[in-house]
Amino acid sequence: MGLGRKAQRLLRRVSERLHDWFFSSARFDRARIEPEVIADICALARGSYPKEMIAFLTGAVRQEGTERVLVIDGLYVKGYDANENSTFFTTHDLPMIGVQGTVHSHPSGNVRASGADRQLFAKHGWFHLIIGRPYTRETIASYDKYGERIDTIEF
């Protein structure tokens, strides 16, 4: 007798996480976003309102003492189409290295990750941000590639 769909999804998720844990050089203990990147994210989101915006977070994991710190030090902004509820982009011209995740806006102000957000997170890096209106540092939520909140973040 085979596994049910729910059990298959759970098994796949556990398998993916184990693979990531054993083989990923991108694991980190905490994340830091440089102040100029925060300013750029806020400006991009405000400039895109009432539509969503999306950009890619660039940086690297660095050893700082005994901790591995993901330092986000730039944005890669590429062309995209957007409306009030979503963004659409192609991935053919993304940089080969340095992309650590994504940032996108929610004009509604709700910074919870939707199912579509979780699909995006799973495909594009380890660290993701959602910024909600009024587009300030205080309205940014961070997530891992599985759509789970990350609270070990410095601005």
- Under-70 pLDDT residues of the chain: 1-2, 15-26, 83, 88-96
Residue 6 has what pLDDT? 83
Q: What is the CATH number of domain 26-154?
A: 3.40.140.10
Distance CA 118, CA 29 (A): 21
Each domain of the chain, given as residue ranges in start order, spans 26-154
Residue 155 has what pLDDT? 82
Which pTM does this prediction carry? Answer: 0.81
Residue 26 has what pLDDT? 58
Residue 90 has what pLDDT? 65
Contacts of 105 (CB under 8 A, 6+ apart): 44, 45, 48, 49, 52, 53, 54, 130, 131, 132, 133, 135
Residue 79 has what pLDDT? 72
Residue 27 has what pLDDT? 79
Distance CA 32, CA 99 (A): 15
